[in-house]
Chains A and B, each alone.
Chain A
Amino acid sequence: MKILVCINNVSDTTTKIKFVDNKSFDSAGVQWIINPWDELALTRVIEIKEVQPSAIESITVINVGLADAEATIRKALAIGADNGIRINYEAKDSYSVAFQLAEYIKKENYDIILCGIESSDYNGANVGGMLSEFLNLPSLSSVSYLDVKDGKVMLKREIDGGQESISIQTPFVGIVQKGIANEPKIPSMRGIMTARTKQLQILEAAPSEIFTEFMEFELPKPKAACRKIDPENVRELVQLLHNEAKVI
């Protein structure tokens, strides 16, 4: 099976969010990482390949972005992806990103295409679903379990209050959430060294449309100070929640 994992380059999840004139994200001093859900998807397929090397022919990672995303792609290669691709396009909205991915994937024959359920920056939760529609492929969202046995793919997706086990024909697009893998892999020194020799292909972008535009950003309003209650008088807290906040 040939597997493609779409990875986004995002600011570290501990980043203190700031904007330049409320118009664009202030990336000064920001650490860049693989989007957490994309990283979980990648981790899971690497785990499967480690256990069943014959089941998986290759794991490719793909990013739509500019040259500054390459450190993140190299990290994915260091973790264990076999090769990387970057489509040279400055992401403007999810629609155009999904379009770029689809234009590439159409020409290839991947069996499983995985995306994280959302990106931790703009929280779109768009690209996986849009991509599958561009490709006219089945998609499964909220995937929290993935395994391959005897050439068959087994999945679970989260539903409200539980999970559905699903059997699906390849090719398909899997949109992955938490639960699919436990800990993201940490690249080993050997992994980092080999990553330098792995192929990172750069593709030119296709002309694409843009449907949405970010106009302005704002930070949440600061909260009023926390009202501290004497630990010797827990009853007061319950009374306040009942009489003042009126929430219990």
Chain B
Amino acid sequence: MSVLVYTENWDGKFKKLSFELVSYAKEVANKLNTSVTALSIGNVDESELNKLCNYGANKIVTINNSKLYVVDNQAYTSVIAEVAVKENANVLVLAHNNTGKAIAPRLSVRLKAGLVTAVVASPLSTEPFVVTKKVFTSKAFAKVTVKTPVKILTLMQNAFGICDSSEAFVTEQFEPTINDVKTEVVEVSKVSGKILLTDAEIVVSGGRGMKGPENWGFIEELASLLGAGTACSRPVSDEHWRTHEEHVGQTGKIIAPTLYIACGISGAIQHLGGISSSKIIVAINKDADAPIFEAADYGIVGDVMKILPEMIAAVKELKGI
């Protein structure tokens, strides 16, 4: 028995999410009285790999094969399934992100393993195996029983947190069987230097109350001062004031930052679904009855165009800029 956690890397580096996944896998392994194997695919150096052991990995399996530099869902499924069988894994843990959502369902069919996605907490029990997941875009939670001997879970980012747990570990290079890779990437376009919305600890977000795209300088300046990512509500992306990548809400991105600052966002139920897992929510809106204030921890009723410059000045003062 073991718990297998797939730790994705980004240009050879892990991030907080990776350590959160290992921490979660360790928690599950403790409950099952077994060990954690972390699987890394790609070119990751030894010092980076060793970081996984600070969170509870007992064994690291690494695969570095150029055929896997592009994520091909079939190839990744085969490789992870092969390692799962080799490691006799009875629980697999992946992230509830682009890659996890693409691979975990295929693994479920391949391994005949029940899958629960968007998991938000440690299993409630292991016999039967019950976990809590978000449903209705965080407007509710559900307890789900997995009935199969092998279980697969995808974990919501920032739901469990990081736990230090230093373990003695072994590292193993593994050469999997890789069939023809069918996904051909013709072109990659990436924005560099921008904080990824899903990784951002702080997010500054604008809604229709910002009046127009020309006023986004305030959002960007505040975000830059706070080291924050920028986001927007759905009407803003529908109007093409901002790109749809910035849209947070039910049909856009679901985020869980430490601090979410909603500027001129009324807080439609679909928007709240996308942000309700944030630790602290700040709302600035001129309408005192806006639903965003029901979700917010701190609020200012006022004109966002007047409040934002003052907030920028206050943050500069705090940071001594």
Contact = CB atoms under 8 A, between A and B. Distances in A.
Interface of A: 13-17, 19, 36-37, 93-95, 98, 117-118, 120-130, 132-134, 138-142, 144, 157-169, 175, 178-179, 182-183, 210-220, 223-224, 226-231, 234-235, 237-242, 245, 247-248
Given A140-B73, A167-B186, A216 B143 contact: yes
**Nearest 6 CB-CB pairings of A with B:** A129-B105, A231-B302, A162-B190, A211-B114, A141-B102, A133-B109
B282 A162 contact: no
Given A234-B311, A248-B226, A241 B105 contact: no
Contacts of B296: 226
Interface residues of B, number: 96
Given A139-B73, A140-B73, 11 more contacts: A13-B270, A93-B114, A94-B105, A139-B102, A139-B106, A159-B190, A164-B187, A166-B184, A166-B186, A212-B115, A226-B296
Given A95-B108, A237-B298, A138 B73 contact: yes
A173 B147 CA distance: 27
Contacts of B226: 248
Q: Which of A17, A124, A129, A210 has most B Cβ within 10 Å?
A: A129
A210 B148 CA distance: 9
Contact of B317 (A37, A168, A235): A235
22 contacts: A95-B109, A98-B109, A118-B101, A125-B96, A130-B105, A130-B109, A142-B98, A142-B102, A157-B98, A159-B188, A168-B183, A212-B147, A220-B276, A223-B294, A227-B298, A231-B301, A231-B302, A231-B303, A235-B314, A241-B280, A241-B282, A241-B298
A248 B228 CA distance: 10
B198 A160 contact: yes
A225 to B, nearest CB: 9
A224 B136 contact: no
B30 interface: no
A101 to B, nearest CB: 12
Interface of B: 10, 70, 72-74, 77, 96-98, 101-106, 108-110, 112-118, 130, 133-148, 154, 182-192, 194, 196, 198-199, 202, 226, 238, 244-245, 247, 250-252, 258-259, 268-270, 276, 279-280, 282-283, 293-303, 306-307, 310-311, 314-315, 317-318
Contacts of B279: 247
A214 B145 CA distance: 6
Nearest to A218: B141
A224 B73 contact: no
Contact of B188 (A16, A162, A213): A162
A124 B100 CA distance: 12
B251 to A, nearest CB: 5
Given A138-B183, A234-B310, A245-B298, A226 B293 contact: yes
A161 B140 CA distance: 29
Contact of B135 (A123, A127, A164): A123
A247 B203 CA distance: 11
B1 to A, nearest CB: 19
Nearest to B310: A234
Contacts of A179: 244-245
Nearest to A177: B251
Contacts of A217: 135, 140-143
B73 A237 contact: no
A141 to B, nearest CB: 4
B203 to A, nearest CB: 11
